[in-house]
């Protein structure tokens, strides 16, 4: 393999990428991929709007309050306290609901069906970050409910859930399916693949050019989505909270890792769908098979797990998703990463899996014939 040969191949790869880029980005049959990529961004934007509105309401509660409260003040209220004791600690409630109802006496001193009037009060306090709802019955505290406001640390678990269960397993998966499967299959359907096959270009070089195009397209689409998700996710926090999360609580590091995982997912799934697009006329069957394989990965024996993309991607995700108590063991296995591998092994694993798929593609592309009538 001479230097001159390499430079010709590289020039040919660039020519393929130039030709394919516009088709890949602006194909009508690929518009849905943008929608899938935009969906988590929209979810986080909606969440940010809802949280910002909650925060505004909370601040108005603070402004109406008599005292400037702290979280410790909110925790000081205990069940059984009297109305006066509560007001002594927290001041007059900024928001108060009052109503009465009648309850059966049930003590045997009065006749059957007799009732007694009960006075109910609900107080709403806030320290600006968290809400306290106190329920009083006849002047005594009966229920206490503290609703903690959102904070980046806690919301990062929600972000991880959306990333792992929607973005990685569905959005990127189907996005790669749409783009990589069409690189060859789309041209066969358009009956234009012969244009490439009539050029003095090695089929493997053509395949490499097309793979690179798919990779560039998916990376641009999904990395942009990932960055926008992070922006939308952090949008509603105060600059101080954002800084603390980004620079002191590994937020920036996590964001960078998510971008890296996104790129690796595009590499892994892209390689899988490239070969599938060459081997199968109907993309539904291989897509369903790969999707199933990826979802049942936690239940597979250790050896088989390694031939999957999600196995390595899960190991690379920076935030572990805790299993909520009471979750069934099957679902818990899906959520947790019971058998993680180290980051270098995970990166290497994905690259090896992708190389195996690309090798299969290179064999397949050499065997391909132009026979549109049978497609």
Partner 1 sequence: MSDRIVFADVSKFYGEILGVNRVNLSIPPGITSLVGPNGSGKTTLMNLMTGLVKPSRGRVQVLDYRTDDPENLFRILGYSTQFDAFPKGLTGFQFIYSYLRLSGRDAQTAEQMAWRVIERVNLVDAAKRNIAGYSKGMRQRIRLAQALAHDPKVLVLDEPLNGLDPLARSEMIALFRASAAQGCYVIISSHILHEVDVISDQVILLSNGYVVAEGQISTVRGEIQDHPTQILIRCSRPRELAAKMLEEELTIEVSIHKDERGLLLKTRDTDRFYLALNELAMNGIDIESVAPADDDVLSVYEYLIGNEEAVR
Contacts to partner 1 by CB under 8 A:
8-9, 11-12, 15-16, 18-19, 22-23, 190-192, 194-203, 205, 366-367, 369-372, 374
Closer to partner 1 by Cβ: residue 28 or 248: 28
Closer to partner 1 by Cβ: residue 76 or 368: 368
Cβ atoms 365, 204 nearer than 8 A: yes
| Cα 262 from Cα 202, distance rounded (Å) | 30
CB of 26 to partner 1, least distance (A): 8
CB of 203 to partner 1, least distance (A): 7
Closer to partner 1 by Cβ: residue 46 or 370: 370
Distances (CA, A) of 219 to 31, 42, 176, 177, 187: 16, 19, 10, 13, 22
Find where tokens 């019971």 sit: 338
CB of 358 to partner 1, least distance (A): 19
CB of 11 to partner 1, least distance (A): 5
Closer to partner 1 by Cβ: residue 2 or 109: 2
CB of 255 to partner 1, least distance (A): 36
| Cα 87 from Cα 66, distance rounded (Å) | 10
Cβ atoms 311, 169 nearer than 8 A: no
CB of 361 to partner 1, least distance (A): 16
Of 177, 178, 93, whose CA–CA distance to 135 is shortest?
A: 93
Closer to partner 1 by Cβ: residue 103 or 191: 191
Closer to partner 1 by Cβ: residue 200 or 324: 200
Cβ atoms 264, 312 nearer than 8 A: yes
Q: Is the C-alpha dihedral spanning 201, 202, 208, 211 positive or negative?
A: positive
CB of 365 to partner 1, least distance (A): 11
Closer to partner 1 by Cβ: residue 248 or 367: 367
Closer to partner 1 by Cβ: residue 201 or 259: 201
CB of 312 to partner 1, least distance (A): 35
Cβ atoms 241, 149 nearer than 8 A: no
Closer to partner 1 by Cβ: residue 19 or 259: 19
Q: Cβ-count burial of 371 within 10 angstroms (0-12 exposed, 13-18 middle, 19+ buried)?
A: exposed
- Length of the chain in terms of residues written: 375
| Cα 100 from Cα 119, distance rounded (Å) | 5
Closer to partner 1 by Cβ: residue 165 or 195: 195
CB of 366 to partner 1, least distance (A): 7
CB of 12 to partner 1, least distance (A): 5
Cβ atoms 343, 313 nearer than 8 A: no
Give the end-to-end CA distance of the chain in Å, rounded to a whole number.
Answer: 36
Distances (CA, A) of 324 to 155, 231, 340, 355: 15, 27, 20, 37
Q: What token pair was written down for 118?
A: 């009960």
Other CB atoms within 10 Å distance of the CB of residue 40:
22
Give, for 289, the enclosing helix (H) or strand (E). helix 284-295
């Amino acid at each position: 393999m001479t230097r001159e040969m390499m430079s010709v191949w590289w020039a040919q790869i660039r020519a393929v990428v130039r030709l394919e880029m516009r088709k890949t980005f602006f194909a009508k049959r690929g518009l849905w991929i943008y929608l899938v990529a935009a969906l988590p961004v929209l979810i986080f934007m909606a969440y940010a709007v809802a949280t910002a509105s909650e925060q505004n309401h909370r601040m108005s509660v603070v402004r109406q309050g008599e005292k400037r409260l702290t979280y410790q003040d909110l925790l000081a209220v205990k069940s059984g306290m009297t109305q006066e004791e509560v007001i002594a600690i927290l001041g007059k409630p900024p928001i108060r609901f009052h109503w009465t109802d009648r309850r059966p006496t049930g003590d045997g001193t009065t006749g059957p069906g007799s009732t007694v009037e009960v006075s109910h009060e609900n107080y709403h306090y806030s320290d600006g970050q968290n809400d306290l709802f106190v329920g009083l019955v006849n002047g005594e505290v009966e229920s206490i409910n503290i609703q903690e406001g959102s904070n980046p640390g806690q919301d990062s678990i929600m972000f991880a859930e959306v990333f792992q269960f929607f973005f990685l397993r569905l959005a990127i998966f189907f996005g790669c399916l749409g783009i990589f499967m069409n690189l060859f299959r789309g041209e066969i359907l358009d009956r234009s693949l012969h244009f490439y096959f009539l050029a003095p270009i090695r089929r493997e070089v053509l395949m490499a050019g097309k793979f690179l195009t798919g990779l560039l397209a998916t990376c641009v689409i999904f990395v942009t989505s990932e960055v926008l998700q992070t922006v939308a996710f952090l949008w509603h926090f105060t600059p101080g909270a954002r800084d603390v999360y980004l620079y002191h609580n590994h937020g920036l590091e996590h964001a960078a890792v998510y971008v890296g995982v996104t790129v690796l997912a595009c590499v892994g799934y892209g390689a899988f769908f490239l070969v599938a697009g060459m081997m199968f006329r109907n993309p539904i069957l291989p897509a369903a098979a790969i999707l199933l394989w990826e979802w049942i990965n936690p239940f597979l024996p250790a050896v088989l797990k390694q031939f999957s993309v999600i196995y390595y991607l899960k190991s690379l995700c920076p935030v572990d998703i805790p299993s909520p108590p009471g979750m069934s063991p099957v679902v818990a296995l899906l959520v947790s990463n019971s058998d993680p591998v180290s980051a270098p092994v995970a990166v290497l694993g994905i690259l090896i899996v992708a190389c195996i798929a690309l090798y299969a593609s290179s064999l397949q592309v050499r065997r391909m014939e132009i026979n549109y009538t049978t497609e």
